[in-house]
Structure 1
Amino acid sequence: LMILGCAVVSWAQAMQPLRMEKSIEMPDVQGRIDHLSIDVKGQRLFVSALGNNTLEVIDVKSGKRVKTISSLKEPQGVLYVPESDRIYVANGDDGSVRIFDGSSYAPLKRLDYGDDADNLRYDAGRKRIYVGYGSGGLGEIDDEGNKVTDIKLDAHPESFQLEKDSPRIYVNLPKSRKIAVVDRDKHTIVATWKTDMAFANYPMALDESHHRLFVVTRVPARLLVFDTSNGKTIQKVPAVGDCDDVFYDKNRKRLYA
């Protein structure tokens, strides 16, 4: 696991690239890893080791693994919620979202979504957790770990991002070659934006203050920039192939893919 990787795609003015500070060994972890989540205050990194069926907990300061949560089923999405000190893990193989205590790592609850539970996001204002799952659904979970409702989609959701100042959720639907715009108050789709001849739109990042949505496609390897005020594509930039996540640094105005 590399901490502070180098920039893949830069945005705005040229700046010094990030440099790798350290690499962290995860002995005996087999297969690929998937998504990550950070506990900023506690300086812990949560790593979904999909191929190993484990969640690895890393102490960022010491650079050491401090805990392995096993017996998962292809863990994909992971989310740490500091307000409740809970860890949510979405499992692709059995479609479950498993909830763990953030201090003791004890299992607290399991929610079943049938198939392919994937990305997780937290709405701090509404105290809601969202999970993408199955052949087309966003599940809404309250801060007590209870199912609230489901938002139906026409294909499996990959990365999705939530606006803070509006009820909008932007959802990548690669099998439909589009982005769905969801109103999370009304629990319905309010718009769809096509990616046209760009396929496999998996990663997504959002710059809400400047009304920019960043979507990376794999075929061709391209960054698409959407204006969220009208849904129009305003820029296309070459990117890296097989991109699985993209992150926006608002201070440096950079994207990392």
Structure 2
Amino acid sequence: MPHFARCLLVTLAAGVAMAAAPAPTYKTERSIAGPDGGWDYVQVDPATHRIYIAHGDVVTEIDPLHGDAVRSFGSIMKAHAVVPIPGGTTLLVTSGRDDSVRLFGLNNGTERAKIAVGSDPDAALYDTARQRAVVMNAKAGTVSLIDVAGAKVTGTIVLKPGLEFGVLGAGDTLYVNNEDENEIETANLATGKAGPAIALPGCTGPTGLGFDAKTGYLLSACGNGKAALVDTKTGKLVKLLAIGLGPDAVIMDSARRLAFIPCGKDGTLAVIALDTAGGSTVVQTIKTEVGARTGAIDPADGTLYLPTARFAPPATAGGRPVPVAGSFHVLVVKRG
């Protein structure tokens, strides 16, 4: 057989093998009980593997390596985001109702500092390269830059009201979902200036947001049962993916080339492969529970943690379902 023919057969065989590779399969393995209360963002500290949940007016910590030990600490006015600061001693928490950011010591749960920021601080992240926190103030439409070591605001970037989750992109660019405008705001963290917005046609109420450094794509979770894939190189929408209703987070697993979007109204979890033809593709939709709309991943083994509760029918027509007392728990989702 000619050399080129052998090469062609090998290439075709490799392509068939890749196409035949089974999609990853995830399932809910168990749940961890916790105290009652509303919940918002979740983070896993990659150093300790402990789970931190913005849980009403407190922070709930779960230690899955030591018998799922649970403790709550803090006195917060509606906790939105929890951000473990590298080093393992400090947790940053946004406090929405009193327009502040709190810093807690993780050894004893004591509040170390209270920092005034803009109206309704919601999502937050830690910029390791610049060693500062980035806080999205939803109603103010501003971003507060915080020196965590000095416990002070060092800069404010003016964007637009309606800010939701934000992520760091390539270079100095910050991307922030705008739930009211149905677009992604951008800012340059080096200059402190706002950049051009990215329109999200077909995406209503974007909340969760993820960035994949390998492809340069953003993945935005939309309230109308879609996820928007955006190319940051062109600043354009690539396509919309069908997901469930009620998402509030995009959970990235870059090491395993996957993303996850928990959809709380439908009680489903969309599993998205990042490296498929044409961008990203939903490869699995698994049943979770109603209310499981946010979550976080332990990057070490890819385990997902999704907080939720059981719900009773709303007290009035058109009202929100009411969590059943004693039913709060965290779903543990693992690869099967």
User: Is the shorter-chain TM-score for this pair beyond 0.5, marking a shared fold?
Assistant: yes
Distance 2:160 2:47 in 1: 38
Larger deviation, residues 60-69 vs 222-231: 60-69
Q: Deviations over 1:93-146 (max 9, x none)?
A: 111100011222211100112421111101111101011113201000013121
Show the counterpart of 1:170: 175
Distance 1:213 1:14 in 2: 25
TM-score, normalisation: structure 1: 0.88
Distance 2:94 2:215 in 1: 31
Give yes or no for the alignment of 1:157 onto 2:163. Answer: yes
Tell me if the contact between 2:118 and 2:142 (Cα under 8 Å) persists in the aligned partners: no
RMSD: 1.6
1:21 maps to amino acid: E
Matches within 5 A, 1:33-182: 33-50=39-56, 53-83=57-87, 85-133=89-137, 134-144=139-149, 145-163=151-169, 165-182=170-187
Q: Which runs of 4+ in 1 moved over 4 A?
A: none
Match of 1:19 among 7, 15, 27: 27
1:25 maps to amino acid: A
Distance 1:238 1:135 in 2: 31
Distance 1:111 1:14, change over 3 A: farther
How far the C-alpha of 1:84 sits from its partner, in A, is 6.0
Tell me if the contact between 2:199 and 2:237 (Cα under 8 Å) persists in the aligned partners: no
1:159 maps to amino acid: F
Tell me if the contact between 1:56 and 1:65 (Cα under 8 Å) persists in the aligned partners: no
Tell me if the contact between 1:212 and 1:225 (Cα under 8 Å) persists in the aligned partners: yes
Show the counterpart of 1:205: 210
Show the counterpart of 2:245: 241
Distance 2:243 2:130 in 1: 34
Structure showing greater Rg: 2
Larger deviation, residues 18-27 vs 138-147: 18-27
Distance 1:14 1:245 in 2: 26
Distance 1:203 1:14 in 2: 27
Higher normalized contact order (CA 8 Å, seq sep 6+, divided by chain length): 2
Distance 2:23 2:237 in 1: 25
1:161 maps to amino acid: V
Distance 1:256 1:186, change over 3 A: same
Q: Unpaired segments of 5 or more residues in structure 2?
A: 1-20, 262-336
Distance 2:112 2:99 in 1: 17
Q: Deviations over 1:149-205 (max 9, x none)?
A: 100012131011002x40000111111221111100111112111112421011100
TM-score, normalisation: structure 2: 0.68
How far the C-alpha of 1:238 sits from its partner, in A, is 0.5
1:97 maps to amino acid: V
**DSSP 3-state at the match of 1:24:** strand
1:23 maps to amino acid: S
Tell me if the contact between 1:44 and 1:57 (Cα under 8 Å) persists in the aligned partners: yes
How far the C-alpha of 1:38 sits from its partner, in A, is 1.5
Q: How many residues align?
A: 239
